[in-house]
Structure 1
Amino acid sequence: MSSVAVVSDVVEAFRLQGFEFVGKTDDGWFKLRGPLIPCGADDGIPCEVQLDPTFFDLPRIRLLEIPPELPNAVPHLGAEGGLCYLAKGTVVLDIYDPVGQSLACLQRAAAVLGQILKGEMIEDLAEEFFAYWNGWLCFVDMQGEDLGRQNCIVAQANGNPLWFITDNEDRTTRKLHSLGYQVTDKTVLTYRVKTTAQPRPLTSHWPPETVGDVLAWQSTLDPRCRRKIHERIKEGQSKKANGVLIIIESPLMTYGFAVLFDHQVSQKTKLADRRDSSFGLKVMPVSVIRIDDRYLAQRNIPKSKTLAGKRIALVGCGTIGGYLSDMLVKAGAGSCGGKLTLVDFDGLLPQNIGRHRLGFPDLLSNKAEAMAKELKRLSPGVEVHALPVDVRQAQLGKLDLLIDATGEESLGHWLCGRYRAPTPMLSVWIEGPGTAVRALLSIPSARPARPAFRKKRLWLTRRTAAPR
């Protein structure tokens, strides 16, 4: 069946549901308009359905008229009427049944709309908080948990200002330079507060427009946090700052807002009455994005331990060591006070490039130094050091993990003897002519690495011995 015939069948199926074809969107999707009727209702709400011509993506459904009885913030319904009836990626559409699948999506949307009209699913507002809270971008690069006043760097990106909150100006500046951003001499008075409550929009009045609105909202979540926020705003006002940025750390997310002061108006108000002038100050929501190394490492392995804060030495930056060092950094090595040391006295030769993490620009460079440079380019906040020497002449100090990626048996024996328990040791080598890659972790209570190498040697001896 041709695609034209398939589309015609779907349009006809929707026509039987009261929809009519009205044209195409700018990106080629088919537009239909008709009533979206919730379960058990007699009348529907006018809506627009947009269908993917390939039927791979979920239909887009938008209410053309938002019922006036609905509050300003309701779950699964955007300000422009967009209806979120299914989370993308949670279902797979059967592309061989476009009619049935499209109608099933319409039924699902009608069911969700019915729940919204009944005032149900309010708890989902917490999960959808950022759909109702967006504004200027603010990046947070903080390893510690200190509250109170924070350091804010203002950077320029394509002429637009960006805010970066940091507890290590040097580390954050390196990250900004890696992005090509220009650091300015400006700053913003910033405070960090903590709450025990997960945020969710108020259904009665949203979004907040003034400090008074924010404080009323926070009173419903965490009165103690509300008082702290008010104190910080008044503190900023007393410092004669142009504005103040409030960052709120909640259990599952970080969000914030900015307050802009008008001291001339404030002075006139102060003379007119003795009421707190801060309540009428305008606020601006801020979209907070975490860029700290702890978050970057933890994001892909939630609730699991990372290598952040560990002192790790990697001996050998060849085929295995090059790729392994990259994965170690992505797992947190060299961050949050930790340190990654790369040891290799060898240089990168043309015959290495086809199988190495480095490429042609690093030809004839020392592998450890070139790899450290590459890791710092990819992760500017990490602490990576290169030792372009034989490991037997190196002083590695106290380690949390020693990795031998040289594949040299005799050197492995030497490392076992030089760095005894309680230093854990990971030995990695390539078996035979690239047959497999083996890894053996030696725990502090025992050192099985030497016997393992022996077994490997005996196995190779048996395989290479001449037949009797």
Structure 2
Amino acid sequence: MSEMDFVPQIIRSLLPLGFSYVEPQDEPGWVKMTGPLQTSLGRFECELLVDRLSFHFPHVKLLDIPPSLRPVAPHISANGSLCYYAAGTLVYDIFDPVGQTIMAVHRAEHVLDCILRGEMPEDLEEEFHAYWGVKHCYIDVESKQSQQLTALTFNAREMFVVTDDEQRTSKKAAALGMSSSNSKFLIYKIITKAKPRPRQGVWPPATVGDVLAWQSLLDTACRRKIEKRIALAFRSCARETLIIVESPLMPYGIVVDIPPESREWKLKMGRHGKEHLYRLRVTPVFVTRLDDRFIAQRNIPNHPTLAGLKIGQVGCGTIGGYLAEMLMKAGAGTGGGHLSIVDPDALQPENLGRHRLGFNQLFVNKAVALSYELKRSMPTADIRPLPVDVREADLGDLDLLIDATGEESLGYWLTRRYHREIPILSVWIEGAGVAVRSLLKARSEDACYRCLCDYNKSKAYLAVNEEVEQVLAGQGCEALYVPFPATVSIQAASLGAEAVLDWAAKSEAPSLSTRVLRRDFTAATADCVVPARVGCPACAS
């Protein structure tokens, strides 16, 4: 349907609802109309902007915000814009622009009615960031305690980063190609259990007194700590101080400006001194987390990350390259843990088509090259490359060992050598990309990789029902290889990463997992716990 067809229809459909076409039409790409939103508490005039291309829901803005909704109300911005749906919760039907517009008006009416009746106050918590702060800073703090902090400025104040470890944060600056320098700024972090929400009456806070009155409604202990820290800065003759409050919802900050003329009051902290303190001007600061814990935890909330764990991975090939990156993104190598990666081979031209590494690392040892690439992505991660055969390597103290080589004989050796000391996860590809599998041996009663191979020889715990033929490509004995695309390697790595996260969470997950990738094959074994095989030469006592 063209614009010439649906725009007049939308205008006609809105007339019975009391809307009218207005002049001038000064919003390029949008049709502007005005009319009432009908609620149980009366009608409220609004401006309605309709997308001329029929790609987006209409924008709704109240022409006069009711006094009961000032200065803040959920889903209503300072200019009166009404957020009547959350992004991603509704799908705009481009084939029914008229129906979608009418639906949007009725939904806006319902949301406004709920707001007027006070049914959405908790939404202020989720929308707090929309009401807080025009200044911006980043925070790279691993400690969970209230404490005094320092700050670094990147590239002459282009970025302001609060930190509890200048060396760690400087590595992040270097990864961005920026220089960092210490900022002479008095900074405190305070922990609270209260989720912030805007305060009705005075918003945003303009003075220290406003901040303390607001905090009294949220967390009195936090209020006392804020006042104490501001008073300390006041007495120390600081020019300004930054208070960062870390809440369960998000961190937020305030900058307190302490002009020179205030310093004569610094020793008069009785009643009159406090009155002067409360009059100091403040600026809300929007805070964005930049710490390793946040990066790992954000996409797996309520699930343990791999931070603090000592993980060893043998094999940095087609599976191992992708797997190591997934483990690092889940926190491996951070929080005091480390990720050791072992591989004696160099990257060759024939590896490039399905490897995490690229042309820039050609002829470099895979473990060394992969470590370099991972540290470019996460400069503070402790990635330890071991460019040697694992049988000659000192792996040190580990919490988990991963075999991502796909070499059956080496898998036997790893099991025999380490199964009594640490859990061992094996990840491999069946045939030419027929299926991917993972097996975790974390207990003595669980099967090891050699147990499973012996079971397979007797047709037990197979990956697929059909016969998996050996497929080789290339020429000559040394140039032969099993062909499969990078998508298979990535799926094997994903299965391995899921198994590691399940292990870290101590969940009752199956020890053996299988994903069949080829449509002409069917799964033979459901994910399950495989018992150790009596008499196994690799893991039997």
What TM-score range do you get, normalising by the shorter chain? over 0.9
The amino acid of 1:237's aligned partner reads F
TM-score (norm 1): 0.92
User: Counterparts of 2:279 and 2:158 in 1: how far apart (Å)?
Assistant: 26
State how far apart, in whole Å, the 2-side matches of 1:290 and 1:42 are.
43
Change in CA separation of 1:216 and 1:342 when aligned onto 2, cut-off 3 Å: same
Is 1:387 the counterpart of 2:386? The answer is yes
1:140-162 CA distance string (max 9 Å, x none): 21222121211222223xx6443
Corresponding residue to 2:237 among 237, 240, 244:
240
Return the letter of the residue paired with 1:164.
V
Q: Deviations over 1:34-70 (max 9, x none)?
A: 123222455432x222222343322111123223453
8 Å CA contact retained: 1:29, 1:50: no
**What amino acid is the match of 1:185?**
N
Separation in 2 of the partners of 1:35 and 1:410? 76
* 2: CA distance, partners of 1:41 / 1:242: 49
**1:132 corresponds to which letter in structure 2?**
Y
Q: Which residue of 1 aligns with 2:166?
A: 169
Shift of 1:74: 1.1
Kept in 2: contact 1:31–1:48 (CA 8 A): no
Q: Which amino acid aligns with 1:275?
A: G
**Paired residue secondary structure (1:44):** strand
Partner residue, 1:230: 227
Structure 1 residue 354 displacement after superposition: 0.6
8 Å Cα contact 1:189/1:245 also seen in 2: yes
CA distance in 2 between counterparts of 1:327 and 1:408 reads: 21
CA contact (8 A) 2:398 2:422 kept: yes
Amino acid at match of 1:145: K
Cα distance change of structure 1 residues 42 and 264 upon mapping to structure 2, 3 Å threshold:
closer
Match of 1:32 in 2: 32
Encode CA deviations 1:6-50: one digit per residue, 9 max, x unaligned. Answer: 222112212333221546666x532322123222455432x2222
CA deviation after TM superposition for structure 1 residue 274, in Å:
3.5
Report SS of the residue matched to 2:82.
Answer: coil
Cα distance in 2 for partners of 1:48, 1:144 equals: 48
Seen in structure 2, the aligned counterparts of structure 1 residues 264 and 437 have a Cα distance that, compared at 3 Å, is same
User: Partner of 1:409 in structure 2?
Assistant: 408
Residue 416 (structure 1) shift: 0.9
Letter in 1 for 2:404: A
| Residue pair 2:114, 2:120 contacting (<8 A) in 1 also | yes
Q: 1:231 to 1:309 in 2, by over 3 A?
A: same
Tell me how far apart the structure 1 counterparts of residues 308 and 38 of structure 2 sit (CA, whole Å): 54
Counterpart secondary structure, 2:273? coil
Relative distance call for 1:23 and 1:449 in structure 2 (3 A) is: farther
Partner of 2:211: 214
Deviations 1:416-458 (A, max 9, x none): 1211224111111221223222211111334422111334567
Number of the residue aligned with 1:19: 20
Amino acid aligned to 1:452: L
- Provide the residue aligned with 1:249 in structure 2: 246
Closer, same or farther in 2 for the Cα pair 1:406/1:119, shift >3 Å? closer
Counterpart residue type for residue 256 of structure 1: G
* TM-superposed deviation, 1:90: 0.9
Preserved CA contact (<8 Å) 1:148 1:192: yes
For 2:266 and 2:302, how far apart are their aligned partners in 1?
Answer: 51
**Structure 2 residue aligned with 1:73:** 72
Secondary structure of the equivalent of 1:426?
Answer: strand
Structure 2 partner of 1:299 = 298
C-alpha contact (below 8 Å) 2:265/2:273 kept by paired residues: no
Structure 1 residue 230: deviation in Å? 0.3
Q: Secondary structure at the match of 1:78?
A: coil
Q: Is the contact between residue 153 and residue 163 of structure 1 (CA under 8 Å) also seen in structure 2?
A: yes
1:282-431 matches, cutoff 5 A: 282-431=281-430
TM-aligned CA deviation for residue 3 of structure 1: 3.7
Does the 8 Å contact 1:242/1:262 carry over to 2?
yes
Verify the 8 A CA contact 2:237 2:266 in the aligned structure 1.
no
Q: Deviations over 1:297-349 (max 9, x none)?
A: 11111111111111011111000000111111111111111100110010111
Q: How does 1:22-101 map to 2 (within 5 A)?
A: 22=23, 28-40=28-40, 43-45=43-45, 47-101=46-100
Letter of the aligned partner of 1:221 in structure 2? L
| Secondary structure of 1:185 counterpart | strand
Unpaired runs of at least 5, structure 2: 471-541
Relative to 1, partners in 2 of residues 1:423 and 1:66: Cα closer, same or farther, differing over 3 Å?
same
Tell me, in whole angstroms, the C-alpha distance in 2 between the residues paired with 1:25 and 1:330: 47
Q: Is the 8 A contact 2:37 2:108 kept in 1?
A: no
After superposition, the Cα gap between the structure-2 partners of 1:181 and 1:187, relative to the gap in structure 1 and judged at 3 Å, is: farther
Distance 1:453 1:37 in 2: 69
Whole-Å separation in 2 of the counterparts to 1:399 and 1:273: 59
> Which is further off, 272-281 or 99-108?
272-281
Q: Any gaps of 5 or more consecutive residues in structure 1?
A: none
Residue type of the alignment partner of 2:372: K
How much has 1:359 moved relative to structure 2?
Answer: 0.6
> 2 CA distance for matches of 1:379 and 1:111?
46
Q: Deviations over 1:229-264 (max 9, x none)?
A: 000001112222221111112222211111121132
Cα distance change of structure 1 residues 65 and 451 upon mapping to structure 2, 3 Å threshold: same
Matched ranges for 1:174-189 at <5 A? 174-189=171-186
Distance 2:53 2:120 in 1: 32
Distance 1:270 1:21 in 2: 62
2:13 counterpart letter in structure 1: A
State the secondary structure of the residue aligned to 2:38.
Answer: coil
Q: CA offset at residue 171 of structure 1?
A: 1.4
Amino acid at match of 2:224: R
Cross-structure match for 1:201: 198
Bigger Cα displacement from structure 2, 47-56 vs 126-135: 47-56
Q: Is the 8 A contact 1:48 1:63 kept in 2?
A: yes
Amino acid at match of 1:20: Y
Cα distance in 2 for partners of 1:443, 1:359 equals: 34
String of CA shifts for 1:198-256, please: whole Å, max 9, x gaps: 11111111000000100011111111111110000011122222211111122222111
- Spell out, residue by residue over 1:176-213, the C-alpha distance to the aligned partner (whole angstroms, 9 max, x if none): 22123331232321111112211111111100000010
Residue 438 of structure 1 aligns to a residue whose secondary structure is strand
Count of residue pairs brought into register by the alignment: 460
Q: Distance in 1 between matches of 2:382 and 2:122?
A: 42
Once the two structures are superposed, residues 348-384 of structure 1 have per-residue CA deviations (whole angstroms, 9 ceiling, x without a partner) of 1111001100111111111100000000001112110
User: For the residues of structure 2 that align with 1:432 and 1:120, how far apart are their CA atoms?
Assistant: 59
Amino acid of the structure 1 residue aligned with 2:212? L
Q: Output the aligned Cα RMSD.
A: 2.3
> Is 1:105 the counterpart of 2:104 in the alignment?
yes
